[in-house]
Structure 1
């Protein structure tokens, strides 16, 4: 970047930059973000009649392209450049453009504080950078999110370069495995890595004499004499395979051998998934609108985990010891449960043999609060004591410590951090979506938002848990580092200011191998292709069809004059981010769309009287106003009620029966579970280009990714598809089949779970090697927990006492 900045300031383009800055100053603004900078540059080029090459390829155009923030301050112009993903640079130019220099990030944070008139000369600085310096790091930004692959290669390289040390480390890791006092894999008959290498060869020679299909129970005493305890396989053939993988790993380490061997190690037997918000259940209790997607995710993940673990334990030859997996979803118990089972301590998880929902109540600091459901913005004061109480319940039910703890969302991950720290378990961090990037300048204006959102506690919790986690899984690459044009969710925590509270100099290492992209799947028993008639219930189909097209109901508004038109379906909670109002505007603006299609909205609510959330009230009112404004009566139908998941699956299929389409018009979507559901059901799907949907629709991006801020362009993409379907009836089927195949190949829970367990096992190998550095990090996190998080949470608790 130095050469580019220098070129702009020493070439004839220096005058153009001065003119451009003058244009910005004339707006009476000081702080400009990327889209504003880009738009201002377009206006400047048009106003000064610059040629096309200047706008597209001049050095100044390149500099503007890389500029994500521009701040005008007395005597200085500050540029935040992002030359590539996961990288930011700060440059300060003198106001006369005679001088320039690259500045440290902490200087930028001071500038931001001055901009909001909250500069403080001495402020706490948080810097996690030193804790990652000695750890291996991914060098190519394109490989961010592929931590598993990176670590496999790194570990194998270490074995090759320092064989004795790493074989000893491998021995130490293998010997620690046990279950309720039962030694697994290696017994105390083997005393070192060197001895292990010799015994592996002896064990293979012994197994060679056994019939391949002979059950492990018949020859395990002889194998144990050699020092190999249960866990290597259920038959002689599988035991031999596993031992050979270990031998390859010792003598000829390659990533494929490491991955294959680690996948067979029975290191994960007890798993806890944490979703604290509550309202977690199986019969019409899938969270509140703000958490429903997360609850569905956790339930599906837990079921598949239990089933996969059961299969792996059997293949490891542990059935004869009666070892069973134990999977628990940990959530809060809600006394005022509104007729649901959310006040029941223990609930069996359907579709599992040993999967459970464990509900632990919040301590009753104020029963008026803690006996009811608590919003995710108000939950922070109760999490530390919840973790303490949950630990006792988990140890009692599991009859031992969990091996693996999975945190969900910011609050669930804070609890996961506290529990994993005490129980020495592997901690997986899953955010689903992070709150910080959702609100513009939420860090700088945190004080104005504090009473409503308590961002100071939430951002602190995010910093703690994402750095404490052994690994982080995301559904998309963009969650981590965004795109060349937009910042990723985790990237937004890299460097930021909470004025008069703290500065984050380096909040997370985006190049750390702890980041892994592991997308989820869908429940294939519910969301399956529309043409699988044998799996569909005829009465359910007729009932859902009536709900969507004809049935009168107090929670349904609108009617359809011509039900044979191609339906456009949207399913989303009513909030500004999901942008259903934008979709209605898009539909209302186009007479041609109304001529060809009906619009069907399925939401959680359509009456303002049924919600206390201000943003939901405004969106509902605006939807009603738009329907009147565009006179959409006869063209739109709005179903606004909570529906069971099975009905949602049938809704997609009923729309597909009529060769309809699905549109997700969100302003931003971190990933988009509904996109997977619609595609797996066979609906051609249009989705927002902002967020992870672009990765799901990567093969269809030119035609099916839409910009929700561009009503005209979005309308044209919908009409282009409809025209092609009308001209070629096979086109709808071609797109439908392709989208079904895309989900089946890339987004399924079995693949997700295998990757998740492999990661947990690999990081259980990895952590002991870097234990010293990790302990220092955990002590630092403990200090931040008590210095920053607890005081902010206690302030919220004081407010609740007064309620």
Structure 2
């Protein structure tokens, strides 16, 4: 009802609308579906209508800029992040130690749940002897202590990471920090990883867009990303990054190693990644596209191009005669 009532809809990637040859898009799945106990929907949403638009988010250039722009960086912030994330005396809530903190870092940052797949990253790193020999694994997430979480899935994933750390004996090469960084710190942590000739990885089992991917690329961090969702539209494989299936641990680990083990490849991915964000994911481009669409649809509404009056009456009738009474009945039953 909400989507059909909207004057226009903005998505961040094509896959949200139409999916791929083998996967259904999110909006595509709303054409026919069931809400058990409420009703079945047929022709609920047509993703082919002109109301659907793809406008990817943009990077804030004030905070996310390349590591080589030294004059823009705040040294106090850099030193603080080096100490709290990679140093011998990390911040409270950190797990693990780094025997050689100056080695390249395989870096990931996200919340903890099954879809974000941080446990899968720890496992594929633990399985790869050459990755463990070449680089440290550094993760920043919202929490590292299961006793402080009330979310069942988060607790399961936290415990799983501890199991994998012990199983693969990752002491000395694995640092896991629980923290919520602000925008200034987020931009600088990517640049610190770039200083170390490290890499940012996004191993999610599904990612709608992947804002962290373009932020890392803008800061001069090469990336290896999931093939599921928006990151696969952001990255040009073999140019501005690498795309792999995170369920294939060997292939994903090989992609990481291919970048961090070859200086020329690393530098090539950095250069192309910065250019990719500059030309396709700048904040000014995002804002201008939104303004253009707003003007276009305002003009269409003035001309009644969409001829929405009959649809609006249908939606109003559906909500008040079907959806609302049944929803209220379900709530009383609960």
User: 1:592 aligned to 2:130?
Assistant: yes
1:748 equivalent in alignment to 2:282: yes
8 A contact 2:199–2:260 mirrored in 1: no
1:476 is aligned to 13
How far apart, CA to CA, are the structure 1 residues paired with 2:190 and 2:160?
26
TM-score (norm 1): 0.40
Matching residue of 2:181: 643
Give the Cα separation in 1 of the matches to 2:37 and 2:129: 53
Cα distance in 2 for residues equivalent to 1:768 and 1:712? 56
Which residue of the partner structure matches residue 529 of structure 1?
A: 66
Secondary structure of the residue that 2:46 maps to in structure 1? coil
Over residues 587-628 of structure 1, what are the superposed CA-to-partner deviations in whole Å (9 max), with x where a residue is unaligned? Answer: 010111100010000001111122211111111111111111
* Aligned positions of 1:702-721 closer than 5 A: 704-721=242-259
Q: 2:319 aligns with which of 750, 760, 785?
A: 785
- Aligned pair in 2 of structure 1 residues 784, 698: CA closer, same or farther (>3 Å)? farther
Change (3 A) 1:662 1:491: same
- Distance in 1, Cα, partners of 2:66 & 2:219: 4
Match of 1:770 in 2: 304
Contact 2:31/2:43 (<8 A) preserved? yes
Unaligned runs of 5+ in 1: 1-463
| Contact 1:606–1:620 (CA under 8 A) maintained in structure 2 | yes
Give the superposition deviation at 1:793: 5.4
Query: What's the TM-score, normalizing by structure 2?
Result: 0.94
1:634 corresponds to: 172
Tell me by how many angstroms 1:790 deviates.
Answer: 2.9
Query: Unaligned stretches of 5+ in structure 2?
Result: none
Q: Aligned match of 2:32 in 488, 495, 505?
A: 495
Q: Which residue of 2 aligns with 1:539?
A: 76
* Distance change (3 Å), C-alpha of 1:643 and 1:587: same
Flag the 1:500–1:798 CA change in 2: closer, same or farther, 3 A: closer
| Aligned equivalent of 1:301 | none
3-state secondary structure, aligned to 2:246: coil
Deviations, residues 196-241 of structure 1 (Å, cap 9, x unaligned): xxxxxxxxxxxxxxxxxxxxxxxxxxxxxxxxxxxxxxxxxxxxxx
* Residues 40-79 of structure 1 mapped to structure 2, 5 A cutoff: none
Could you say if the C-alpha distance between residues 708 and 799 of structure 1 is closer, same or farther in structure 2, counting changes exceeding 3 Å?
Answer: farther
Is the Cα contact below 8 Å between 2:222 and 2:241 reproduced in 1?
no
The alignment of Structure 1 onto Structure 2 pairs a total of residues equal to 333
Find out whether 1:692 has 2:220 as its counterpart: no
Distance 2:332 2:71 in 1: 57
- The 1:552–1:698 alpha-carbon spacing in structure 2 relative to 1, beyond 3 Å, is closer
Distance, in Å, in 1 between the alignment partners of 2:38 and 2:239 is 42
Partners of 2:2 and 2:38 lie apart in 1 by 19
Q: 1:792 & 1:576 partners in 2: Cα distance?
A: 33
Verify: 1:656 aligned to 2:190, yes or no. Answer: no
**2:201 partner SS:** strand
Shift of 1:636: 0.4
Assess, with a 3 A threshold, how the Cα gap between structure 1 residues 701 and 620 changes in structure 2: closer, same or farther: farther
Q: Following TM superposition, by how much is the alpha carbon of 1:770 offset from its aligned partner in structure 2, in angstroms? A: 3.1
Contact 1:703 1:717 in 2 (8 A): no
Point out which structure has higher relative CO (alpha carbons under 8 A, 6+ apart).
Answer: 2
Q: Which residue of 2 aligns with 1:603?
A: 141
| Cα 1:744–1:771 shift into 2, 3 Å | closer
Contact 2:241 2:269 in 1 (8 A): no
2:41 corresponds to 1:507: no
Q: What secondary structure, in the 3-state scheme, does the structure 2 residue paired with 1:565 have?
A: coil
Shift of 1:772: 8.5
**Shift in Å, 1:783:** 2.1
Secondary structure class of the residue paired with 2:176: strand
Q: Secondary structure of the equivalent of 1:700?
A: coil
The answer to whether the 8 A contact 1:688-1:705 is kept is: yes
Contact 1:575 1:615 in 2 (8 A): yes
CA distance in 2, matches of 1:742, 1:604: 29
Question: How many Å apart are 1:782 and its aligned residue?
Answer: 1.4
1:702 shift after superposition: 10
Closer/same/farther in 2, CA of residues 528 and 792 from structure 1, 3 Å limit: farther
1:561, distance to aligned residue in structure 2 (A)? 0.8
Verify the 8 A CA contact 2:38 2:323 in the aligned structure 1: no
* Structure 1 residue 556: Cα displacement: 0.6
SS of the residue aligned with 1:698? Answer: coil
Q: 2:53: which partner in 1?
A: 516
1:294-305 equivalence runs, <5 A? none
1:465-511 CA deviation, whole Å, 9 max, x = no partner?
11111111111111110111111111111112234432221111222
CA distance, structure 1, for counterparts of residue 127 and residue 325 of structure 2? 51
Task: Provide the C-alpha distance between the structure 2 equivalents of 1:524 and 1:647, rounded to a whole number of angstroms.
Answer: 14
CA–CA separation in structure 2 for the residues paired with 1:580 and 1:549: 18
Deviation of 1:754 after TM superposition, in Å, equals 1.1
Q: Is 1:733 aligned with 2:271?
A: no
User: Retained in 1: the 8 A contact 2:220–2:271?
Assistant: yes
Kindly provide the CA deviation profile for residues 709-731 of structure 1, in whole angstroms up to 9, marking residues without a partner as x: 111111122222233x1xxx333
Determine which structure has more spread, i.e. the larger CA radius of gyration. Answer: 1
Find the counterpart in structure 2 of residue 322 from structure 1. none
C-alpha distance 502-544 of structure 1, shift in aligned 2 (>3 A): same
